[in-house]
Amino acid sequence: MEVVNVDAVQKELNRLSKHDVYIHLETTNGAYASHFNESFFSSGAFIRNAKVQFEHGKITGDHPYRIGLKLEIGWIYAEGITHYEVDSQGRLLMAGHDHQGKLAVALQISESPFE
């Protein structure tokens, strides 16, 4: 994966908008609880192969970044994105790593279901 290139990620979000796509979104304790004592607070979320169609996607922020996908009736957000790649299958794979290099958040968008 490469450090986020805002223009490249935005171009991919534009390419994938208004199509049926599959979302993988995952967070770990690092995404929300890195400033808390982990024994006091922990969180996580996991969604895989949620089929959606987003009207438009937007990357904002100044490293780390926020990705927002505008749905017909709401939003999908991923905060803390630091790296991305477009793989050989055309999937947009994005990840956020904490200050220790550990995965904190992953957002992946594909035109076909994830295995």
Decide if 37 is inside a domain.
Answer: yes
Decide if 41 is inside a domain.
Answer: yes
**The pLDDT of residue 100:** 84
Q: Are the beta carbons of 43 and 27 closer than 8 angstroms?
A: yes
Query: If you write DSSP's letter for every residue of 15-81 in order, what string do you get?
Result: HHTTS-EEEEEEE-HHHHHTTS-TTT----EEEEEEEE--SEEEEEESSSEEEEEEETTEEEEEEEE
Decide if 9 is inside a domain.
Answer: yes
**The pLDDT of residue 42:** 64
Q: Are the beta carbons of 13 and 65 closer than 8 angstroms?
A: no
Decide if 8 is inside a domain.
Answer: yes
Q: Kindly report the CATH number assigned to the domain that includes residue 34.
A: 2.70.180.10
| Predicted model pTM | 0.86
How many structural domains are present in the chain?
Answer: 1
Decide if 18 is inside a domain.
Answer: yes
Range of the domain at 51: 2-110
The whole-number mean pLDDT for each consecutive block of 10 residues of the chain, a chain of 115 residues, reads 96 98 87 49 81 97 95 95 97 92 93 95
**The pLDDT of residue 32:** 47
Residues with Cβ within 8 Å of residue 97, at least 6 apart in sequence: 82, 83, 103, 104
Decide if 115 is inside a domain.
Answer: no
